Amino acid sequence: MTKVMLITGAGRGIGAATAKHAAQAGYAVAINYRSDKASAEGVVSDIEASGGRAIAIQADVADEADIVAMFETVDREFGRLDVLVNNAGIVDQISRVDEMSFERVDRMMRINVTGPFICAREAIKRMSTRHGGQGGAIVNVGSAASHLGGASEYVDYAASKGAIDTMTEGLAKEVAGEGIRVNGVRPGVIRTTIHASGGNPDKPDVAGSVIPMGRIGEPEEIANGVLWLAEAGFTTGALIDIDGGV
């Protein structure tokens, strides 16, 4: 039976690299995106060209109805779910906390925290032996920012990723006896489009000099960690730092 992995925010960046890696490892992949349909369909085409199976699903992880419909699409198209990767996430413009609007912080938390919680809820309903499922794994994509704090850049983002660390540890214990493992990766600076969307397009070019290994990371290096955790049968509640030594 082909295993199924749902990856949120998989049209670009770390999610797209994880989707391609998962397909190479034999997973059928559900590729969620919010608005960039062309990129998501490009990932599907790449996977299909290599002989894999993938579908693209539009859903905003800040919207409960979208999340529920996304999981129902996975049910319909694949008939099972083995791994959820909570990857979709945003940063915002560089800002001090005393300059942040309510709307900004609320949006950050809805996408980076509430969305992963509700996705986890839907995954557990399908995977937990308590609900008649076969077990499975959840991999959360956090950030090194959760322990660095994001001062004068984006403390709201860093705090949202702190919540993801805590969710990983608590949920891992909650469902460990139900066949579900919950783990997380904490990337450092990775070469993706997220920096430009936060008004900091030069970050990948300048960050390397302050990283102990002297360079930023590539999306495939995070994908390797996610895939390892998806398969790591005796590992749960773990947070793997993939950040060049930060």
Which residues would be at the binding site for ligand NAP (CB under 6 A)? 8-15, 32-36, 39, 60-62, 87-90, 111, 141, 143, 187, 189-190, 192-194, 197
Considering the complex, state which of residue 34 and residue 181 has its C-beta at the smaller distance from ligand NAP: 34
Contact (Cβ atoms closer than 8 angstroms) between residue 75 and residue 123: no
Give the count of beta carbons closer than 10 Å to the beta carbon of residue 50: 11
Strands 136-141 and 28-33: unpaired
What distances in angstroms separate CA 96 from CA 93, 139, 153, one per listed residue? Answer: 10, 30, 6
Smallest separation (angstroms) from ligand NAP to the CB of 3: 22
Considering the complex, state which of residue 60 and residue 156 has its C-beta at the smaller distance from ligand NAP: 60
Smallest separation (angstroms) from ligand NAP to the CB of 140: 9
Contact (Cβ atoms closer than 8 angstroms) between residue 83 and residue 138: yes
Structure tokens, 217: 């990371």
Strands 239-242 and 180-187: parallel
- Of 167, 157, 155, 74, which Cα lies nearest the Cα of 122? 74
Smallest separation (angstroms) from ligand NAP to the CB of 94: 14
Give the count of beta carbons closer than 10 Å to the beta carbon of residue 223: 25
Contact (Cβ atoms closer than 8 angstroms) between residue 127 and residue 82: yes
- Active-site positions read 157
Helix and strand tally (H, E) in the chain?
10, 7
Considering the complex, state which of residue 100 and residue 179 has its C-beta at the smaller distance from ligand NAP: 100
Smallest separation (angstroms) from ligand NAP to the CB of 110: 8
Considering the complex, state which of residue 34 and residue 128 has its C-beta at the smaller distance from ligand NAP: 34
Instruction: Give the C-alpha separation, 244 to 217, whole Å.
Output: 7
Smallest separation (angstroms) from ligand NAP to the CB of 100: 17
